[in-house]
Chains A and B, each alone.
Chain A
Amino acid sequence: MNAAGQLTDVSGWVVRARASRALALRELVHVGDERLIGEVIALDHDLATVQVYEETEGLAPGDPLFSTGEPLTIELGPGLLGTIYDGVQRPLAALARDGGDFIGRGAHAFALDRERIWSFEPKAREGEEVLGGITLGFVQETPALRHPTLVPPDVRGIVTFLSPAGPLRVDDPVATIERDGMVKTITMVQRWRARVPRPIRARLPIAQPLVTGQRVLDTFFPLLRGSAAAMPGGFGTGKTVTQQQLCRWADADVIVFVGCGERGNEMTQLVRELPELIDPRTQRLLAERTVLIANTSNMPVSAREASIFTGVTIGEYYRDLGFHVLLLADSISRWAEALREISGRLEEMPAEEGYPPYLSSALAAFYERAGCVTTLGGAEGSLTLISAISPPAGDLTEPVTRHAQRFVRTFWTLDRQLAQARVFPAVSMSASYSELPTANPARDDALAFVEEANRIEETARLVGVESLPDRERFLLRLSEVFREGFLQQSAYDEIDAFCAPERQAALLALFLYVRRRGLELLEHQKPLAKILALPLMTNLQRSKSARELPTIAALEEELGSC
């Protein structure tokens, strides 16, 4: 590594240096004698502007700048799962081992453990001609995931050596590939530029639902594999809890959770719980299929900006291995704010609310990395993105929410009033939408029911419940039961925390049945009081936590007694 310049200005984590004209834009550099990590973000004659991913206190003009000749890259390979990284992919456990309880400066550690031994089983053959994306062999990364080692996207040729079955470290040679007399050694570690999307063979149409186990989401505002969703909500509306629920229960092979500028204690809760949580479908540990990226709000803002790309690149890598990946980003607003801070430090002309004019294209570049694809190797994989948005003052007309809406097709708005009444997940029925098809044919009927009940409630607020006709009073009461018994879902209840699609449909059918039959009974002049007094009106509220749902026949028996 060579000294490539000297600092001239230090003001926060954007520094300027008089530097060699050989530096490249987006090149990874090291700053000062402590070798802090930085990235070149602008070049002007012999002046380089660098964003530093660590605290810059103590840097002074005249301090050296070192060139690495490489862009900021992400290390990809077995060992990512179950590891917790910071925004620039330093493993936090290794940093703690070397540096203690607080994150110091100038710490370096390999993203993938160089000492760990993997048991490699070859699949390709020596003498075979291979292209990028072809599987050379496998290692069992975790009990839940068999990790193929692929030929890197930019490599092709004849396999001249392939490692036999046996123990390998990640940087041991797996194969050599020869082309036109040039020999390339392939290891399990691939490096990929964080800001460049990985290549694929083709995009596939988006069609498979991604089951989250959350009734209000799956039934009313579904998400498909390979699509993108945004979840705006003011503070205290349960964004984080909802994200953590999705992290636990969503039907994906691999989960990448990016804690982007959020709370340390909550990140820790996830870190502590994850090793113990059991995947409801496979009965295996969730940690075996999860990568965590933790950039808490007090870590350097520049690393927060990078953390999203670190996460997306890891997500795309597992997609390219042929898995269905879900990436959760909490929150994309903090990332946008990091962009704003960088832009401000560069003294760029701001657009709305101080955000840079390229906010929209930056968001587009993120959301467009979602997709369902045929990989270079011919497998099918997908990357689904769910991003929390923290709109200032809960205002959905602010720039980040507004721009995000143009790129996502599923939009889950969290509502403060619901949250204050402790109705979680606090997904607003009126301000959320999904343009994607739902698997449940009863959805539209149910949505109409909720809509009508809302209208009745408005009226009731003006004239009082007593003044409403029986029909409306019945619907109003039933909608309360529905809100509590269907829309609300407890993250802490053993049975209720995850609701399979079949169960969602069955539960919804019960409510719709009671609605239809209740209205029929009223038409046949049965007394409202008697219907409302039926035990089923309270039982339906609790059925969600019961192992067995009531049958239609049992409901009919009660209703028939009126």
Chain B
Amino acid sequence: MLKSAAGVERSGLANIRGALAFVEIEGAYAPAFHEEVEVVGSDGTLRRGRVLSASARGVVVEIFAATEGLQLDASRVRFRGHPIRFGVGPELLGRVFDGTGAPRDDLPPPPAVEMRSIGGSPINPVRRAYPRDFLETGVSSIDALNSIVLGQKIPIFTESGLPHDELAMQIVRQAHAPGVEKFAIVFCALGLPRQTAQRYLDDFVATGARSRLVAFLNLADDPTAERLIAPRCALTAAEYLAFDCGYHVLVVLHDITNYGEALREISAARGEIPSRKGYPGYLYSDLASIFERAGRIEGRPGSLTQIPIVTLPSGDMSHPIPDLTGYVTEGQIVLDRTLWRRGVKPPVAVLSSLSRLMSDGIGAGRTREDHADVARQLYASVAHVERARSLAAIIGSDELTEIERTYLAFGERFERELVSQRSDESRSIDETLTIAWNLLSTLPRGELTRIRDEFVTKYLPS
């Protein structure tokens, strides 16, 4: 694609500021947009980077490593003749890479059958298969009310201090789908503290998941620019596993908020015009180029499911990062601090959570015939609980009608029995629905307006 000869070298940088450097170009060689470069300092250290913009005068280069110590005249820049690529091959599983796709586990790079440009290409919408296969996480609040399907992208919206790591690890440990054996995990740390990343790795080792895991680690003190390519390396690996090797791949991207911050930092350094809160106008398109790589393809056996984790800045869901994430992803799992304080674990807020692909992934032959009705009834009843609670907060629960008090009691039990769950407890969808029916049986029969009579007769415990 890049017609220039590989490995053309230029000496000297015209300027350098943070992660961006300008290289003047003379002579016949014209570096291409997004071409990979290597910047070699006078100390001999090699730093990878890429061309951010190319003009006849010279190129702006983004460097994915610390730039301290780089000198202008003593540095050499090598243009590699191709965009940033990641080598995919059958021995990826079990390996740990850094954000640029270089091994981080002291082993040599795995043999590559193909070098792939990390940007990926959009899946042709007419070739996508519509995701409908239920992914059982074993977590009741997700399986019953926000069911996930293979090939979906659904983030966890959380806040600092909430147990999103426990929930994500639990999902990774427990996730399975009927008839699916080839399961793989791609874990991508984006600006995570070392300890947090280590907790994930330790957990993967402890549960034996390590052999079906590929990890890409860009830690909190790793270079910002590397954060922008880490998810793309991870997804290139995931796409290979899913669409070439037939694995059902679960990709955990943690944390998208750090990614957004990195994008803002680089954008500001380039002097671009900001839109909301200093984030670049292309934040939506950029996030989409990551999240849209989830999916399934007609005629290929695997799937690529994404669970990005988004820490809401100051708990604000209207912040540009969660807001635009929500516009791209197919729903969201929301963790709630109030629930957490009440001791509900995992603190999944069922009303503000949503899975857009749920309705076609559940029901007879997928989960159970009554699932959709039960879910609808639970939403309605929990919404009623919320109304009763806000009323009780004003006039006191003694003043409530009997039916409102019934709902208050239902709400308590709902949180304690259905939402609350030990982190080592995996519930089948049948078990989850049984709990749901037991809860619904505490409401008067006339309140169950969202469930068809035949199911009430069949499933409601007497």
Interface residues of A (CB under 8 A from B): 8-12, 16, 33-34, 55-63, 84, 92-93, 95-96, 99-104, 234-236, 240, 259, 261, 263-269, 271-272, 294, 296-299, 301, 334, 337, 340-341, 344, 347, 350, 353-355, 390, 392-395, 420-422, 460-467, 484, 492, 538, 541-542
Contacts and interface: CB of A to CB of B under 8 A. Distances in A.
Interface stretch (B69-77, B258-266, B321-329, B417-425): B321-329
A272 B130 contact: yes
B142 to A, nearest CB: 16
Given A11-B55, A96-B124, A265-B330, 12 more contacts: A9-B55, A11-B52, A101-B127, A102-B122, A264-B128, A265-B151, A266-B356, A337-B281, A354-B273, A392-B324, A393-B323, A461-B391
Nearest to B372: A492
A393 B327 CA distance: 10
Contacts of B206: none
B35 interface: yes
A465 B130 contact: no
Interface stretch (B25-33, B207-215, B338-346): B25-33
A301 B53 CA distance: 17
Given A84-B126, A298-B292, A350-B273, A341 B285 contact: yes
B56 A8 contact: yes
Given A296-B125, A297-B292, A420-B383, A463 B395 contact: yes
Interface stretch (B105-113, B162-170, B185-193, B293-301): B293-301
11 contacts: A10-B53, A61-B30, A264-B292, A298-B288, A298-B289, A344-B282, A347-B273, A392-B318, A420-B383, A463-B395, A484-B449
A344 B281 contact: yes
Contacts of B2: 58, 60
Contacts of B177: none
Across the A-B interface, give the 7 residue pairs with the lowest CB-CB distance, nearest first. A393-B318, A11-B53, A297-B288, A354-B275, A298-B292, A60-B32, A235-B326
B370 interface: no
B35 A58 contact: yes
A538 B32 CA distance: 68
Nearest to B293: A298
A179 to B, nearest CB: 43
Interface string B341-377: 0000000000110101101100000000000100010
B128 A268 contact: yes
A393 B289 CA distance: 21
Interface string B113-147: 00001011111111111110000000000000000
B359 A58 contact: no
B125 A422 contact: no
B200 interface: no
Contact of A10 (B1, B54, B280, B284): B54
Contacts of B401: 465-466
Nearest to B54: A10
Interface of B: 1-4, 25, 30-35, 52-56, 83, 117, 119-131, 151-152, 243, 272-276, 280-282, 284-285, 288-289, 292-295, 297-298, 300, 317-320, 323-324, 326-328, 330-332, 351-352, 354, 356-357, 359-360, 372, 376, 379-380, 383, 390-391, 394-395, 399-401, 404, 446, 449
A194 B56 CA distance: 33
Given A11-B53, A58-B33, A341-B282, A268 B125 contact: yes
A95 B122 CA distance: 12
B360 A269 contact: yes
A259 B121 CA distance: 18
Contacts of B125: 84, 92, 259, 264, 267-268, 271, 294, 296
Contacts of B383: 420-422
A8 B376 CA distance: 58
A457 B281 CA distance: 41
Contacts of A395: 318
A8 B120 CA distance: 26
Contacts of B320: 392
B171 to A, nearest CB: 20
Contacts of A236: 326, 331-332, 354, 356
A261 B293 CA distance: 14
Contacts of B30: 60-63
B400 A464 contact: yes
Contacts of A63: 30
B263 to A, nearest CB: 14
Contact of B124 (A59, A92, A240, A337): A92
A264 B123 CA distance: 8
B276 A392 contact: yes
Contacts of B273: 344, 347, 350, 354
B449 A541 contact: yes
Contacts of B298: 101
Contacts of B276: 353-354, 392
Given A236-B354, A337-B284, A354-B281, A55 B395 contact: no
A344 B272 contact: yes
B281 A102 contact: no
B281 A55 contact: no
A192 to B, nearest CB: 25
A421 B323 contact: no
Given A104-B121, A265-B330, A464 B54 contact: no
B323 A392 contact: yes
A55 B130 contact: no
Contacts of B379: 421-422
A527 B399 CA distance: 21
A301 B121 contact: no
Contacts of B354: 236
A538 B126 contact: no
Contacts of A341: 281-282, 285
B449 A464 contact: no
Nearest to B300: A101
